[in-house]
Chain A
Amino acid sequence: MPELIAPIAGNVWKILVAVGDKVELDDELVILEALKMETPIYCDDAGTVTAIKVKEGDAVNEEDVLIVID
């Protein structure tokens, strides 16, 4: 099951999808905020969002799982 991981440490600024959403390659799924800059994180695999592991405002570390896609 593919996972979307955080490429950099930061805070979760916005989550742009919900569980059950169909997502395509290169969709913007999450926006992280680090050093007062918004960094969009793009989808690596097409599929359906089965779980969202974080909520807006959470602090995440590099490599943390953000979203699980089936």
Chain B
Amino acid sequence: MLDILRELIFTSGFVSLTGGNIVMWVISFVLLYLAIKKQYEPLLLLPIAFGILVVNLPLTFLMDPEHGLLWFFYHYGIELDIIPPLIFLGLGAMIDFGPLISNPKMLLLGAGAQAGLYVTFFAAVLFGFDLQEAGSIAIIGGADGPTTIYLTSKLAPHLLGATAVSAYAYMALVPIIQPPIMKLLTTDAERKIVMTKLRPVSKLQKICFPIITAMTIMLIVPPAAPLISMLMLGNLFKESGVVERLTNAASNELMNIVTIFLGLSIGATMTAATFLSPKVLFIFFLGLFAFAVSTAAGLIMAKTMNLFLKDKINPLIGAAGVSAVPMAARCVHKVGSEANRRNYLLMFAMGPNVAGVIGTVVAAAILLKNLG
């Protein structure tokens, strides 16, 4: 009888518990609280937080290579780079590139905001991260979750949990991080600028856009292919208007399914042993830095463009050049309407916002090409 009891105690998780595990539980509980109570990106934070909790219960072996359930999700979904492109397929089926097609100059803002990535890359190298790690940290400034996960899993898989969580955290915090930078770098008069109406976009243009963009980008930067091809295929589904079932499947069911596996797998990489290191704090700090510099770069780019443009643009929309669709565009709209309540910048900001997605993918492909 005593033997059975002893056996039960020694095979239970309690005896193998470490202090680090308990710290990870606390992190998991905080994320659960933020997801459920504050509704910060709950679709992702909830599975991530639960993933963190269960991998930090000892002896469950959920992340044991070749055995653990979550390891299989991680291996097939993320290590083999299947899930991020599938998310992009769904995103493509939801994104309206109309505001960008209507005003292709916005592409410059989407590209300008990527400057933050390169600044952060060098900052991370200065902090002592190796080149692959620095690339993975810099991409956080692109504010695009799937791209961050895609690049990190290729360059520095041991940092996956930290870069993914900080990318999603900062996206949720867009309304807090961006407005002070926006107000600092623009004058009240600039924020009041009302933009001229967007040119209407024909159906033909909307159908041609994903085809031409896919060809152009893949020919110029071939490593962008997995993400760009799926993004543009999803968009072609939507704009063609003839495969509504595929559009819906990609943007609803498939998206929801892979989101579950994405979140769980990311959470599962965050064991106490890999996550609790001083490096992680630096990653969060550098990620925030990347995000702030990208926002500033977008704003400065917009102000520079205004020096040459006859019809002035509202420089606030430059801040939407970081991807974070549509949070950054909403934020621009809000700050714009605070300056002038009859200023409706939402659709104007969607142009640089969707351009930012393309810009981040291209930036990731360039990093991958040079560091991979």
Contact = CB atoms under 8 A, between A and B. Distances in A.
Number of contact residues on B: which range applies? Answer: 10 to 19
Contacts of B326: 35-36
B344 A39 contact: yes
B330 interface: yes
Nearest to B326: A35
B347 A39 contact: no
A42 B326 CA distance: 24
Interface of chain B, main secondary structure: helix
Given A35-B329, A37-B330, A37-B333, A9 B341 contact: no
Contacts, number: 28
Contacts of A40: 341
B337 interface: yes
Interface of chain A, main secondary structure: loop
A8 interface: yes
B342 interface: yes
B342 A35 contact: no
B333 A39 contact: yes
A34 interface: yes
Given A39-B337, A42-B341, A42-B342, A9 B330 contact: no
B346 A35 contact: yes
B15 to A, nearest CB: 48
A34 B333 CA distance: 11
A57 interface: no
Interface of B: 197, 326, 329-330, 333-334, 337, 341-342, 344, 346-347, 350
